Amino acid sequence: MEKKASRRENECEEKNSNSEGSEQDKGYKTSLITLNVGGYLYITQKQTLTKYPDSFLEGIINGRIMCQFDADGHYFIDRDGLLFRHILNFLRNGELLLPEGFRENQLLAQEAEFFQLKVLSDAVKSRWEKEQLASRETTFLEITDSHDRSQGLRIFCNAPDFIAKIKSRIVLVSKSRLDGFPEEFSVSSNIIQFKYFIKSENGTRLVLKEDNTFVCTLETLKFEAIMTALKCGFRLLTSLDCSKGSIVHSDALHFIK
């Protein structure tokens, strides 16, 4: 009799445990929301969509705003399904994080306004304004002779990050070629200034070692700049001084994406 009673107690405990587990599973499942945005399905948590009170998404989840459903019973929102990825990431992260090279700021700002996310809309507009300002300001890098500023190379581009990358690459190449002679050039914000250039029949060489061997040429640095630009997706718009003929003989290069 005691064994039967014990068995019944165990069965009751298992039923209660299973009942509690099923309730937890049910609660977890109901916290997941599937949205159909312009034909793209997104699954996220209810708390993510209701993060910003008075937003469009919070309104439809809490029943303040009427929303259509698709054939599968998912909320249907007739907006840009691809851009909604960035809306959802903003709700998840609490900040604007966009992939490198993102160019749809105006469209994303419109989406943010539709979803009534003012914080996101302001962030996108601020980013857009900064990019517009940067595109109007041509950034340059000058490689020059400290004794003769007319000798050297000028690199123009409207992308400050690219100029910084070009500068670090040229400094790296120069240091590798000028092993033991780091005092032969200095670096400032937009200028790499060598102690002196040496003119020769084959072109302008930058530094002459004690054994009279040339360690670096201006043409080498031009090729480094062009190859770095191509690898980064930029193109050579034109050499700003075409009178020299070949690109390697020009005094300036202009890159654009």
pLDDT of residue 57: 97
Q: Which residues contact 176 (CB under 8 A, 6 or more apart)?
A: none
Residue 173 phi/psi, 5-degree rounding, is -65, -45
Q: Which residues contact 195 (CB under 8 A, 6 or more apart)?
A: 146, 183, 184, 185, 207
Residue-wise pLDDT for 162-180, tens only, equals: 888 888 888 887 777 766 5
Beta bridge partners of 180: none
Residue-wise pLDDT for 89-131, tens only, equals: 999 999 999 987 788 999 999 999 999 999 999 999 998 888 7
Q: Which two tokens stand for residue 39?
A: 């034909």
Q: How sure is the predictor about 1, in pLDDT bands with cuts at 50, 70 and 90? A: very low
> How many other CB atoms are there within 10 angstroms of residue 254's CB atom?
19
Residue 207 phi/psi, 5-degree rounding, is -140, 140
Q: Which two tokens stand for residue 251?
A: 């005094």
Nearest to 119, CA basis, from 55, 201, 204: 55
Q: What is the mean pLDDT of the chain?
A: 80
Q: Which two tokens stand for residue 6?
A: 């014990």
The Cα 252–Cα 243 span in angstroms is 11
In the predicted model, what is the mean pLDDT of residues 224-239? 83
Superfamily of domain 32-134: Potassium Channel Kv1.1; Chain A (3.30.710.10)
Q: Which residues contact 5 (CB under 8 A, 6 or more apart)?
A: none
pLDDT of residue 26: 47
148 compared with 214, residue with greater pLDDT: 148
Taken in order 6, 11, 14, 20, the sign of the CA dihedral is: negative
pTM value is 0.49
Res 218 pLDDT > 50:
yes
- Residue 228: C-alpha distances to residues 60, 64, 197, 204 (Å): 50, 54, 23, 21
Query: For the chain, what are the domain ranges?
Result: 32-134, 140-256
